[in-house]
Structure 1
Amino acid sequence: MSRILIVDDEKSIRITLCEFLKAENIQADSAEDAATALQMLEKAPYDVVFSDIIMPNSNGIDLLIEIKKRAPSIQVIIMTGEPTVETAIKAVQQGAHDYLPKPINRKMLMKAANHALQVKSLLDQKAALEELNHIYQAGLERLVGQRTTALQNAMQSIIILLSTMTEIRDPYTAGHQRRVGNLSAAIAGKMGMASSTVELIRIIGYIHDIGKIVVPSEILTKPGVLSPLERQIIQEHSQKGYEMLSKVDLPAIIAETVLQHHERCDGSGYPRGLKGSEITMEAQILMVADTVEAMMSHRPYRAALGLDAALNEIEKNSDKLYNPEIVSACKNLFLEGHYNNDDSEHIYYPIGVV
């Protein structure tokens, strides 16, 4: 049974939210302040913590920081009576799963709880797979042949889980990562790259937006124009994705390429403003595929723009934002090879790629 902790100095709120959760067969406990909450977290395993931001002695952000130090996989949702973008930025930057404005009704609570529980479950599965991977590596000398197949399966499972985590958070882009991964692989193949590199680029595409898991769903699915602060939150997904993938037993090029996939060849991208050859070839391919796929697909804030508009965009900015060789390969795929966007899964993890 899932277990959730409610932290709020107002008794009526604690009682009400706990009753909402218990009615959905979720074990719910409560604490009146941060100190009590930390004591309870030491004694029992919780999946999700809902915490008020303003409390006596220690506020919700301080509690969030301490929870993330002790148990990073616990999902923390901040509750606030004064919801602002500044509050959201501060909470997200410290690792909050989401934030909820008060008053909180049953529907709001359960939507946030179910999302957080799904993410916690996926993180637990990922951790188990990573542990299995370490076990396989330890037995390398004795079980080389068996380990290769098992390790490949384990790594492929990790990739699938990471991709699924993002789609749970951002349903509007379901399939986007797979389409970008498949198009990136097709571009790399068109450029004559080795098959192992092609498959690695496909994998990077499948998880390139994993950092969006830390972006509040209200911002991801906002139908209107984003404010500068909201855009800042979304732009942090490259860095957050890099930080997550750096902790996983995957080749370093995967995390680095995820970090760079919004860079641009003229230095106008983010987060580091890299130029030309400072950007990995994998990231240069990914940025073209990401741009084309995004323009061809529907988004909450606009309808699909179509293939012609997408190809015109990369052609117009060839040798400025994008690598001309990659632009040419991408155009040839669609115009001569009659490539169709593919959102099916073709994961083959190339063991030995570094």
Structure 2
Amino acid sequence: MFKVLIVDDEKSMRITLSEFLRPEGYEIDTAVDANQAFQMMDEINYDIIVTDIIMPRITGIELLERIRKKSQTVQIIIMTGEPTVDTAVKAVQSGANDYLTKPIKKENFISAIRHAEKVKRLIDEKEELERQNLKYQRGLEHIVEEKTNALKAAMQGIISLLSSVVEARDPYTAGHQRRVGNLSAEIGRKMMLDEKAIEEIRMIGYIHDIGKIAIPAEILSKPGSLTELELLMVKTHSDSGYEMLMKVDLPINIAQTIRQHHERCDGTGYPRGLSGSEISMEAQILMVADVVEAMMSHRPYRPALGLEKALNEIRTNGGRYYNSEVVSACLSLFEEDHYKIDDSEHEIDFKL
């Protein structure tokens, strides 16, 4: 049973949130302030912590920072009745996983808790997988091909789960990561990359938006233009994905590619404004596939623009925003090979 700690100096809020969760089967504790929360955390390993920002003596932000020094895996949901740009950015930078504004609606609160549970369960499964992998690496020679295949299947399952968690948060882009991964792989094949590189870029594509699990769902699916705060929060997803994957025993270029997939060759992209050769070839392939697929697909703020406009975008800006070699390969793929967008999930040949 997942353990949830609710920290709020208002008794009515602690009672209300507890009653929201009790029928959902969670084990719930409450704390009146940050000091009591610290004491309880010393005795109990909580899976999810929900805390108000404005509290006496020690604020929710200070509590958040102290929690993160102790644990990087506990899921933290910040609540506030006085939302501002600075507060939201500070919460995300300090390690908050989600951000709710008061008054708290029951359905939004339960949805946030369920999402936090999914992410925590994923993290726990990942850590267990890493423990199993470490055991394997220490030379347990009796682990044979069946165990290796099981480990590959587990990794495939984690990649699928990572992808599905993002889609659960952002239903308007369901299948986007698979389509981008498959298109990236075919562009790589057109560019004569080796099979290991092709499969790796497919895998990266399947999880390239993993950082979006840190973005509130209502922002991801919002129709119309985003506010300055919302756009700023969305743009954190590249760095968030990088930070998540740097904690996993995977080649560093996977995390780096995910961090760079919104960069542009002329330095106008984000998050770091890289340009030219500062951007990995994998990221330069991924950014083209991402743009083409996104323009071809429906978004909550616009209808699908179609293949012609998508190809015209990369053709017009090849050599400026996008690598010319990658653009040529992508155009050839569609215009000469008549490639059709592939929404299927391919089995990835992990090189363990």
Q: Would you say same fold, with TM above 0.5?
A: yes
Q: How does the TM-score come out when normalised to structure 2?
A: 0.94
Tell me what 1:220 maps to: 220
How far apart, CA to CA, are the structure 2 residues paired with 1:143 and 1:128?
17
Deviation at 1:149, TM superposition (A): 3.3
How far apart, CA to CA, are the structure 1 residues paired with 2:275 and 2:52?
43
The alignment partner of 2:49 has SS state of strand
Tell me what 1:124 maps to: 124
Tell me what 2:106 maps to: 106
Tell me what 1:166 maps to: 166
The alignment partner of 2:300 has SS state of coil
Q: How does the TM-score come out when normalised to structure 1?
A: 0.94
How far apart, CA to CA, are the structure 2 residues paired with 1:68 and 1:171?
30
* Structure 2: gaps of 5 or more residues: none
- For the 8 Å contact 1:148–1:351, the answer to whether it is kept is no
How far apart, CA to CA, are the structure 2 residues paired with 1:127 and 1:156?
15
Tell me what 2:252 maps to: 252
Between stretches 58-67 and 340-349, larger displacement belongs to 340-349
- For the 8 Å contact 1:136–1:150, the answer to whether it is kept is no
Alpha-carbon deviations, 1:33-80, whole Å to 9, x = none?
011112112222322111111111101111111222222221111111
The alignment partner of 1:347 has SS state of coil
Specify whether residues 169 and 138 from structure 1 end up closer, same or farther in structure 2 by C-alpha distance, changes over 3 A only.
farther
Alpha-carbon deviations, 1:263-319, whole Å to 9, x = none?
111111122222222211111100000000010111111111110110000000011
The alignment partner of 1:30 has SS state of strand
Tell me what 1:20 maps to: 20
- For the 8 Å contact 1:292–1:310, the answer to whether it is kept is yes
Is 1:195 the counterpart of 2:195 in the alignment? Answer: yes
Q: Which amino acid letter does the alignment assign opposite residue 337 of structure 2? A: G
- For the 8 Å contact 1:163–1:210, the answer to whether it is kept is yes
Deviation at 1:206, TM superposition (A): 0.7
Tell me what 1:269 maps to: 269
- For the 8 Å contact 1:155–1:349, the answer to whether it is kept is no
The alignment partner of 2:266 has SS state of coil
Deviation at 1:203, TM superposition (A): 0.6
Alpha-carbon deviations, 1:176-216, whole Å to 9, x = none?
11110000001111111111111011011111111111122
Deviation at 1:12, TM superposition (A): 1.5
Specify whether residues 279 and 141 from structure 1 end up closer, same or farther in structure 2 by C-alpha distance, changes over 3 A only.
farther
Deviation at 1:2, TM superposition (A): 2.3
How far apart, CA to CA, are the structure 2 residues paired with 1:86 and 1:20?
29
Specify whether residues 154 and 108 from structure 1 end up closer, same or farther in structure 2 by C-alpha distance, changes over 3 A only.
closer
Deviation at 1:144, TM superposition (A): 6.9
Tell me what 1:177 maps to: 177
Between stretches 186-195 and 81-90, larger displacement belongs to 81-90
How far apart, CA to CA, are the structure 2 residues paired with 1:5 and 1:280?
42
Tell me what 1:290 maps to: 290
How far apart, CA to CA, are the structure 2 residues paired with 1:138 and 1:157?
24
Specify whether residues 140 and 285 from structure 1 end up closer, same or farther in structure 2 by C-alpha distance, changes over 3 A only.
farther
User: Size of the alignment, in residue pairs?
Assistant: 352
Specify whether residues 30 and 351 from structure 1 end up closer, same or farther in structure 2 by C-alpha distance, changes over 3 A only.
same
The alignment partner of 1:248 has SS state of coil
State how 1:20-99 maps to structure 2 within 5 Å: 20-99=20-99
The alignment partner of 2:109 has SS state of helix
Q: Which amino acid letter does the alignment assign opposite residue 285 of structure 1? A: I
Is 1:337 the counterpart of 2:309 in the alignment? Answer: no
- For the 8 Å contact 1:136–1:147, the answer to whether it is kept is no
How far apart, CA to CA, are the structure 1 residues paired with 2:105 and 2:179?
37
How far apart, CA to CA, are the structure 1 residues paired with 2:141 and 2:284?
37
Specify whether residues 48 and 315 from structure 1 end up closer, same or farther in structure 2 by C-alpha distance, changes over 3 A only.
same
Between stretches 102-111 and 183-192, larger displacement belongs to 102-111
Tell me what 1:305 maps to: 305
The alignment partner of 1:107 has SS state of helix
* Structure 1: gaps of 5 or more residues: none
- For the 8 Å contact 1:129–1:158, the answer to whether it is kept is no
- For the 8 Å contact 1:133–1:154, the answer to whether it is kept is no
Alpha-carbon deviations, 1:218-245, whole Å to 9, x = none?
2212212122332222111111111111
Percent of aligned pairs with the same amino acid: 61
Q: Which amino acid letter does the alignment assign opposite residue 38 of structure 2? A: L
The alignment partner of 2:96 has SS state of coil
State how 1:315-354 maps to structure 2 within 5 Å: 315-351=315-351
Specify whether residues 142 and 24 from structure 1 end up closer, same or farther in structure 2 by C-alpha distance, changes over 3 A only.
closer
- For the 8 Å contact 1:203–1:349, the answer to whether it is kept is no
How far apart, CA to CA, are the structure 2 residues paired with 1:209 and 1:342?
18
- For the 8 Å contact 1:187–1:285, the answer to whether it is kept is yes
Q: Which amino acid letter does the alignment assign opposite residue 212 of structure 1? A: K
RMSD (Å), alpha carbons: 1.8
- For the 8 Å contact 1:51–1:78, the answer to whether it is kept is yes
Q: Which amino acid letter does the alignment assign opposite residue 175 of structure 1? A: G
How far apart, CA to CA, are the structure 2 residues paired with 1:108 and 1:314?
39
Between stretches 263-272 and 30-39, larger displacement belongs to 263-272
